[in-house]
Amino acid sequence: NKNTYILGIESSCDDTAAAVIHNGVVLSNVVAGQKIHEEYGGVVPELASRAHQQNIVPVVHQALRKANIDKKQLSAIAFTQGPGLMGSLLVGTSFSKSLAMGLDIPLIAVNHMQAHILAHFINAEEQTAPTFPFIALTISGGHTQIVKVTDYFEMEILGETIDDAVGEAFDKSAKILGLPYPGGPLIDKYAQSGNPLAYPFTKPKVGDLEFSFSGLKTAVLYFVERETNKNPNFVSENLEDICASIQYTIVDYLMDKLKNAVAITGIKQVAIGGGVSANSGIRNALKEAEKELGWKTYIPRFEYCTDNAAMIAMVGELKYKTQQFSSNNLVAKARMKL
């Protein structure tokens, strides 16, 4: 049972990914992104599903080749059952079922949101994992969720967004500023040389541990329209300050929620994941919280923050050890509880 090779497959949104993990160490981690959505300024579900169908076989082949193993050496197939886009999930689910059946090895269903959190346990020797209990904040283009984690599979959602995800707030604001999709990283880039206090935006008021971002998007839209009416070059002349102000508002809002979670639970270990954890503003704010508030904070390597299959394989390995296998007639779930 010690020499396990788990193949992980992820297809919940717009990335087709496969990875092989061997005793907690990632041997390969392949991701095929989908450029096709760029011109639409967001993920188009039908196109995503079709691209997954085209990508999944080559991506899995590449993951096996890079790991330098034969498919006959695999111990189990772990795949994302949900949550996500139904058409996308179906591709990974049916492919994984067939492969597991063909190889006559166990099939392991993985919850994508659990995987983002358990990504902290990948490659334990090179990145320090948090110890239980800890607070996890998952922030990406699809998710914004604060979770209390007491064990690998004991998680409780403390709060989540009631409308847009934080990555959407970045991307939609960027779109209003005329920046290409996904605009989050560009807002971050321009924000570096701007004044974060130049344009104050109000932070949406919801429950202590809940998030709301749709109001911010509207506020940015009205603000840009108003200023552009006065000065048609307003955005280009003030891009850095606008980006810095938007980013400051979002980061401050995320930190408010984390501070609330720490105060309510008394847990000072904070682990973040998801694509938005790349943001320099949140990274700096967390470093400051370590110094000022005595927190311990954790961010996985970037390739394990964005959607990837290494995290799916990691959960697969944890479930393999405790024999949490799935039956071959299980179905994909667009909505799935943690």
Please enumerate, by residue number, every residue annotated as part of a binding site for Fe cation: 112, 116, 307
Closest to ligand KG4 by CB, 75 or 114: 114
Question: What DSSP state is assigned to residue 308?
Answer: -
Q: How far is the CB of 264 from ligand KG4 (least distance, A)?
A: 26
Sheet holding 296-298, edge to edge: 154-160, 144-151, 134-139, 269-273, 296-298
What's the rounded Cα separation, in Å, for the pair 297 and 290? 7
What's the rounded Cα separation, in Å, for the pair 285 and 45? 34
Closest to Zn ion by CB, 146 or 244: 146
Q: Residue 297 binds which one of ligand KG4, Zn ion, none, with CB within 5 to 8 A depending on kind?
A: none
Chain residues in the site for Zn ion (CB under 5 A): 140, 307
Binding residues: 112, 116, 138-142, 171, 184, 188, 279, 307
Q: Residue 300 binds which one of Zn ion, ligand KG4, none, with CB within 5 to 8 A depending on kind?
A: none
Give CA 55 to chain center in angstroms. 20
Q: How far is the CB of 247 from ligand KG4 (least distance, A)?
A: 7
Tell me which residue has tokens 């949104």: 13
Residues in CB range of 170: below 8 A, 6 or more apart = 182, 183, 184, 187, 246, 247, 250, 276, 279
Closest to Zn ion by CB, 245 or 306: 306
What's the rounded Cα separation, in Å, for the pair 330 and 336? 13
Residues in CB range of 126: below 8 A, 6 or more apart = none
Provide the H-helix boundaries in the chain: 45-67, 86-103, 112-118, 166-176, 184-191, 214-230, 234-265, 280-293, 302-305, 310-321
Q: How far is the CB of 168 from ligand KG4 (least distance, A)?
A: 6
Q: How far is the CB of 140 from Zn ion (least distance, A)?
A: 5
Closest to ligand KG4 by CB, 188 or 210: 188
Closest to Zn ion by CB, 140 or 249: 140
Q: Residue 316 binds which one of Zn ion, ligand KG4, none, with CB within 5 to 8 A depending on kind?
A: none
Q: How far is the CB of 243 from ligand KG4 (least distance, A)?
A: 10
Chain residues in the site for ligand KG4 (CB under 6 A): 13, 140-142, 167, 170-171, 182, 184-185, 188, 274-276, 278-279, 306-307
Closest to Zn ion by CB, 241 or 307: 307
Cβ neighbour number for residue 208 with a 10 Å cutoff: 13
Q: Residue 114 binds which one of Zn ion, ligand KG4, none, with CB within 5 to 8 A depending on kind?
A: none
Give residue 86's identity as a one-letter amino acid code.
M
Q: How far is the CB of 53 from Zn ion (least distance, A)?
A: 20
Binding residues for substrate: 138-142, 171, 184, 188, 279
